[in-house]
Structure 1
Amino acid sequence: MRFPFGLTALALLLVGTGPAIAAPPLELSVVRILNRSQRSNWVAPWNALGTSTSTGSGFIIDGGLIMTNAHVVSDARLLYVFLHNDPNPHQLRVKVIGHDCDLALVEPVEEGLLDDYPALEFGPLPAHRSTVETYGFPAGGERISSTRGVVSRIEMQAYAHSGIDAHLTVQTDAAINPGNSGGPVVQGGKVVGVAFQGTSQLENTGYFIPTEVVDHFLRDAADGRYDGYPELGVITSNMENPAARRRAGMSEGLSGVRVDAVFPGGSADGHLRPGDVLLAVDGHPVANDGSTLIDDFRGDFGAVVDRHQIGEQLQVRLLRDGQVLETAVTMRSLPRLRLLANSYDRRPRYFVYGGLVFM
């Protein structure tokens, strides 16, 4: 979440000063990002909106790059980074950005700027009820802040930035406030996630993007271009009702979800049909509520689908007309779905004819 400038009030508690203490190596790698952005006007496309200034966080990784959230650097006209104990802004440019997973890689325009700063390493998915620590620059502050909390939930969750995507998300009671976005979430000295959003419906609750999603993004972006997540392209409903299972011809011991619709052009198009029952994906049995056991936690079967890149194959077991079938689905994107997503980093195309605006 970005934090706009112009606080109406800010209360500070002075706790005293003491001798200077050297910053831990981890804090040396956490940076503050300033974005002077300009959003496109999709209501009046000939008239761009005014510029705004917002701040977020990021952290240094291998390759002289900085990882942050896509929403921290979206629609940028000018990007700057402030390094540890350096009051001077340094210009950035976006190298790769993924709006569907709210992640981005940026790099300094000045070559070698990050050579003397340690790159942070990534760790595994944190265990449920384990402790994590978030780092960043909340509330637009210029001093680094850290908060500690417990992993309370791991599940598929909507990503607010795109408005339509849902990926694996970790919930914690560590404070994740405006300005924290893009900062590392750390456990055992390694990054286990990227702070990215909160919720107004719950108190003391924040969310971070786990390294499983980060790794998917980095593998996709390794060639310098981000292709995005593939889409299975189906609408399913659960089969918890015994009558629904009998109607589908499911014998005792079988579980899964019914396929209600298949999107033309999606990965499942030509492989699945309405009325099929999806029994397993990549060998993970699908429960009647749509969940599956993934490593040591139970989550939506979509988390297994999300592990694939475009072009890879997903193994599917299904029930059709009383027969259990196996098929390999080649994963691909669904461009028509992206039309429903929030749009960033591009200007609307339009033309005017007879006083009407066509977009």
Structure 2
Amino acid sequence: MTDRSFSFRSSVRDIVRKWVSCDKAYEEKEPDDGDFEECGREEDMPQCDAVVAVLCTVAEADVFYPWRRKQEPSYGAGLILSGRRVLTTAHSVDQYTQLEVGKEVWGPRYTATMLAVAPECDLAILTVHDDEFWNQVKPVEFGDMPSPGDKVIIDRLRKDEAYLPLVTACVLGLGMTRYSFWGTKLLAFRVNVGRNGASGGGPAFDERGKCVGLKLQSQGYRSGDFVPAEVIKHFIQDYDKNGAYTGLPLLSIKWQKMENPYLRMLMKMEHDEQGVLITEVGPNYPESVILKPNDVILSIDGININNDGTVPFLSGRRIEFGYLIGKKYVGDKIVIKVRRGIEICEFTTELATHKQFVPANIIGRPLRYYIIGGFVFTTLSFPCMEVMVLKTDINAGYETEFTLQNQVLVTFNDKPVEGLNSLVSMVETCNEDFMKFTFGNKKTLVLPTNIARSRTPDILKAHSISCAMSDDLKELVKLTRGEESPIYI
């Protein structure tokens, strides 16, 4: 990475004349580089003080070897908000150990502090306490959702150049998209960004100079998804109202389309009725009390849902009905109209946030782990959902057992495991001859208790591992055993 900061010194209005032509309809193909045009450098542009650089050092956790943390630099773009705040993308500051913001090319950097992070929508809010940073800056203004075929100005930050190239580009499409950082399905729009891509958090502007989105974590080669201003403003308003990020609301159901006429006939639907079929309702959510599998959702808040699961959207377009939920806030109430057999029912339910069992983001926190007898246990996470085996004689026969991968530990010696703390406490106090670990797929691992404990230090030494557990578990073991465990060595 080129060690630098950058700024967006441009008035977008002054480069509208540089627009290039592009197709008016979204096409399922990679865009050509001719679909965009570099339109200036920062030093050639009039001043615009809303865009800054976010630079940080990250200590990325290794999900396969959780005792390791590799430090490396990371960077992205940020936007000045009112109230001495900076908006950036969550993925650009993920697992940071040092966080800085700069506003001039090769200029000074200022220590930043994290105020809020929303991994579901890949957004974060920072602040800088140094008054000098806030001189001659002004908050960004947000625009409306662009349509397919609209032209936007984006940055295309290149690692090997000392300036910020600006390009005009074409919006290829918009809709509900699964954000790669967390996996949440939210509103997004897609833009062609060319061979060199766009920087993480890089902004897109409309012809009026208003920000219409921030670049999401990249998945494509020449196209990139942007979190739109609508989602950004929702996040900011949540923070302003509550003083913290409260999460995104969720209607915890699984559903299928009802485009097949025989399926609609089976569900007793009238000829002019449309909707989607509920196949599963998440437990422990408010809607689990009122909704049932095989209910047909006809409308939400009076907005009818088509058989393909879409509702009206901008300019006569349609979008997946989850968009209606994403516009709400945690605690808001919605009215759901359903067909249940021959009956039509209306229910009011309160929207809760994601009860995310899998802690997909590990921002700023080291991975937790525990090693016993060569088995490595860690908290479940998106990047790694498997058991790893450090080869040794006492676990022979398990190291090639692929059925252990992607499995959740359910019981230890036939007692439920509620989490890593629960497992560590039970293992450390085990007085039985054997330790039995049973997983969700009913597969079982067995270790002799005393041999596993005595051999663990040798296994750690053979694999150059300094400690059998993460730091947060050491105090737990001291309390559990009443003394410092020998497997610390």
TM-score band w.r.t. shorter chain: 0.7 to 0.9
- The Cα shift of 1:114 comes to 1.7
Look up the equivalent residue of 1:209 and give its one-letter code. Answer: V
CA 1:179–1:89: 2 relative to 1, 3 Å? farther
Match for residue 24 of structure 1?
46
Match for residue 178 of structure 2?
158
Match for residue 58 of structure 2?
37
Look up the equivalent residue of 1:334 and give its one-letter code. Answer: H
CA RMSD, aligned part only? 2.3
Structure 2 counterpart SS, 1:31: strand
Aligned partners of 2:180 and 2:219 also within 8 Å: no
Separation in structure 2 between the aligned mates of residue 65 and residue 137 of structure 1, nearest angstrom: 22
Higher-strand-fraction structure: 1
Is the counterpart of residue 298 in structure 1 residue 318 in structure 2?
yes
* Equivalent position to 1:115, from 110, 135, 152: 135
- The Cα shift of 1:135 comes to 2.8
Aligned partners of 1:132 and 1:148 also within 8 Å: yes
Match for residue 101 of structure 2?
81
Q: Deviations over 1:112-169 (max 9, x none)?
A: 522311211111212332111113633364422211112221111111111x211101
Separation in structure 1 between the aligned mates of residue 321 and residue 93 of structure 2, nearest angstrom: 31
Separation in structure 2 between the aligned mates of residue 331 and residue 130 of structure 1, nearest angstrom: 34
Is the counterpart of residue 59 in structure 1 residue 79 in structure 2?
yes
CA 1:311–1:150: 2 relative to 1, 3 Å? same
Aligned partners of 1:155 and 1:169 also within 8 Å: yes
Aligned partners of 1:148 and 1:175 also within 8 Å: no
- The Cα shift of 1:276 comes to 0.3
Separation in structure 2 between the aligned mates of residue 106 and residue 330 of structure 1, nearest angstrom: 30
Task: Say how many residue pairs are matched.
Answer: 337
Separation in structure 1 between the aligned mates of residue 99 and residue 85 of structure 2, nearest angstrom: 14
Match for residue 145 of structure 2?
125
Separation in structure 2 between the aligned mates of residue 260 and residue 270 of structure 1, nearest angstrom: 15
Match for residue 158 of structure 2?
138
CA 1:145–1:22: 2 relative to 1, 3 Å? closer
Look up the equivalent residue of 2:283 and give its one-letter code. Answer: P
Match for residue 229 of structure 2?
211
Is the counterpart of residue 170 in structure 1 residue 192 in structure 2?
no
Is the counterpart of residue 253 in structure 1 residue 272 in structure 2?
yes
Separation in structure 1 between the aligned mates of residue 374 and residue 2 of structure 2, nearest angstrom: 38
Bigger Rg, which one: 2
Aligned partners of 2:196 and 2:222 also within 8 Å: no
CA 1:21–1:5: 2 relative to 1, 3 Å? closer
Separation in structure 1 between the aligned mates of residue 346 and residue 81 of structure 2, nearest angstrom: 41
Match for residue 342 of structure 2?
322
Separation in structure 1 between the aligned mates of residue 172 and residue 337 of structure 2, nearest angstrom: 32
* Equivalent position to 1:289, from 305, 308, 315: 308
- Alignment gaps of 5+ in structure 2: 4-41, 378-419, 421-489
Q: Which has the higher contact order (CA 8 A, sep 6+)?
A: 1
Separation in structure 2 between the aligned mates of residue 25 and residue 70 of structure 1, nearest angstrom: 27
Aligned partners of 1:94 and 1:107 also within 8 Å: yes
CA 1:220–1:124: 2 relative to 1, 3 Å? same
Separation in structure 1 between the aligned mates of residue 262 and residue 123 of structure 2, nearest angstrom: 43
* Equivalent position to 2:292, from 273, 284, 304: 273
Look up the equivalent residue of 2:299 and give its one-letter code. Answer: A
Look up the equivalent residue of 2:288 and give its one-letter code. Answer: D
- Alignment gaps of 5+ in structure 1: 7-19
Look up the equivalent residue of 1:124 and give its one-letter code. Answer: D
- The Cα shift of 1:356 comes to 4.9
Aligned partners of 2:140 and 2:210 also within 8 Å: yes
Look up the equivalent residue of 2:59 and give its one-letter code. Answer: Q
- The Cα shift of 1:81 comes to 1.8
Aligned partners of 1:129 and 1:151 also within 8 Å: yes
- The Cα shift of 1:86 comes to 5.5
Look up the equivalent residue of 2:353 and give its one-letter code. Answer: S
Look up the equivalent residue of 1:260 and give its one-letter code. Answer: T
Look up the equivalent residue of 1:36 and give its one-letter code. Answer: T
Separation in structure 2 between the aligned mates of residue 245 and residue 161 of structure 1, nearest angstrom: 36
CA 1:179–1:35: 2 relative to 1, 3 Å? farther
Q: TM-score, normalised by structure 2?
A: 0.64
Is the counterpart of residue 193 in structure 1 residue 219 in structure 2?
no
**Most deviating of 228-237 and 119-128:** 119-128
- The Cα shift of 1:99 comes to 0.6
- The Cα shift of 1:274 comes to 0.1
Separation in structure 2 between the aligned mates of residue 320 and residue 236 of structure 1, nearest angstrom: 15
- The Cα shift of 1:32 comes to 1.7
**Most deviating of 338-347 and 73-82:** 338-347
- The Cα shift of 1:300 comes to 0.6
Q: Deviations over 1:62-96 (max 9, x none)?
A: 11211110011111111122213452222212111
Separation in structure 1 between the aligned mates of residue 292 and residue 262 of structure 2, nearest angstrom: 21
Look up the equivalent residue of 2:335 and give its one-letter code. Answer: Q
CA 1:247–1:69: 2 relative to 1, 3 Å? same
- The Cα shift of 1:355 comes to 6.1
Look up the equivalent residue of 1:156 and give its one-letter code. Answer: M
Q: TM-score, normalised by structure 1?
A: 0.86
Match for residue 13 of structure 1?
none
- The Cα shift of 1:25 comes to 3.6
Match for residue 243 of structure 2?
224
Look up the equivalent residue of 2:251 and give its one-letter code. Answer: L
Higher-helix-fraction structure: 2
Structure 1 counterpart SS, 2:238: helix
